[in-house]
Amino acid sequence: MATRVVTAMDVTLYLFFLLTLTALVEAAGRGVNNDNKGGLGASFIFGDSLVDAGNNNYLPTLSRANMKPNGIDFKASGGNPTGRFTNGRTIGDIVGEELGSANYAIPFLSPNATGKALLAGVNYASGGGGIMNGTGRIFVNRLGMDIQVDFFNTTRKQFDGLLGKEKAKEYISKKSIFSITIGANDFLNNYLFPLLSVGTRFTQTPDDFIGDMLEHLRDQLTRLYKLDARKFVIGNVGPIGCIPYQKTINQLNEDECVDLANKLANQYNFRLKNLLEELNKKLPGAMFVHANVYDLVMELITNYKKYGFKSATKACCGNGGQYAGIIPCGPTSSLCEERDKYVFWDPYHPSEAANVIIAKQLLYGDIKVISPVNLSKLRDM
């Protein structure tokens, strides 16, 4: 019997086959067709500039981040700006990665947001957007939460076409997570904004305004529930009185924050938690998870050295005032050398380094920061 000589070409082809097979297995493990209980289906992201992945690129708006050096550390784009309001990944990006999403949730307004690309998830978030429809009108255009839910309704119909009605419903209700990060702009660019809020602040007390916010949010979350959303995570409003913009325009010391802004955030946050507890009892099969972003960010600001940061007051990228907190990040901005040493990337938004710490707490933290379950457990429910 003839003996076949194994050549270098044979070895090369065999190794190539193994590498290809390994890659396919890994892709299947993270892919959108994964039938394992622990797999994440789609990541649906709603909110404002904290999680905008590029929707505002497609709007005639003053709220944009599609210019350098934004995105300088975003590896997926080779360091080019994508419309994310940070130097790298948003919290939504990081959470999706950790939970096993095949790709980043694609911006709804992107021309590529069609077909199977939707199955990994869709991002509806918009810089300047808020719970209230009037929020952010200073930016001319933005997508408020009502419009974002309207857009999800469009996506929901597309899923029926992609998977069939029965599988689409199961994929969305049992495998997918709905993330909502919104509310800060309703204070910063609505109730507290001097040029826009005079009438509102004369006619509405803070309690009344917050009550309106929560009634609108209740309706928006209920609409999503009626479209088969079941797994929700809702972030509360962070310490908006401590961002570089607020510190700069109010000429505060490093260890000071704007008391009124933080007081309003805490009033809203207390009532938000009560709303989510109510919805958990009222809407069968739903799980509304409360993410305590306020305490997570305040911890980073207060004990920044403990986490390896050099500054929790100054924007890494920005201009104007003591904390570079007036002019948003752009090509003419000053830029810090050690971007991973700053809690804040620009006058308003955390750096990727801060986002990683926050995201890991949301994924694996205890009930002090995320309740009633963390996101790794929510995925597997």
Question: What are the tens digits of pLDDT across the range 352-374?
Answer: 999 999 999 999 999 999 999 99
In angstroms, what CA-CA distances link 342 with 164, 303, 346? 47, 12, 10
- 30 assigned to some structural domain: no
- 11 assigned to some structural domain: no
Q: What is the mean pLDDT of residues 102-127?
A: 96
For Cα atoms 72, 78, 80, give the angle at the middle one, nearest 5 degrees: 50
* Total structural domains within the chain: 1
pTM of the model: 0.89
- 8 assigned to some structural domain: no
Q: Which domain holds residue 251?
A: 39-380
- 87 assigned to some structural domain: yes
Mean pLDDT of the chain: 90
Rg (CA), the chain: 22
d(CA 48, CA 130): 7
- 25 assigned to some structural domain: no
Most confident of 4-18, 189-203, 329-343: 329-343
Q: What is the mean pLDDT of residues 61-89?
A: 97
Give the CATH number for residue 151: 3.40.50.1110
Residues catalogued as catalytic: 49, 346, 349
Q: What is the pLDDT of residues 235-262, one digit of tens each?
A: 999 999 999 999 999 999 999 999 999 9
Q: Nearest-CA neighbor of 101 among 39, 180, 174? A: 39
- 305 assigned to some structural domain: yes
Backbone angle region of 128, left / alpha / beta, with phi > 0 → left and psi within -120 to 50 → alpha: left
Copy the structure tokens of residue 247. 């510190």
Please count the other Cβ atoms lying within 10 Å of the Cβ belonging to residue 275: 17
- 32 assigned to some structural domain: no
Residues above pLDDT 70, as percent of the chain: 87
Q: What is the DSSP letter of 61?
A: -
Q: What is the mean pLDDT of residues 182-209?
A: 81
Q: Nearest-CA neighbor of 282 among 233, 221, 208, 234? A: 221
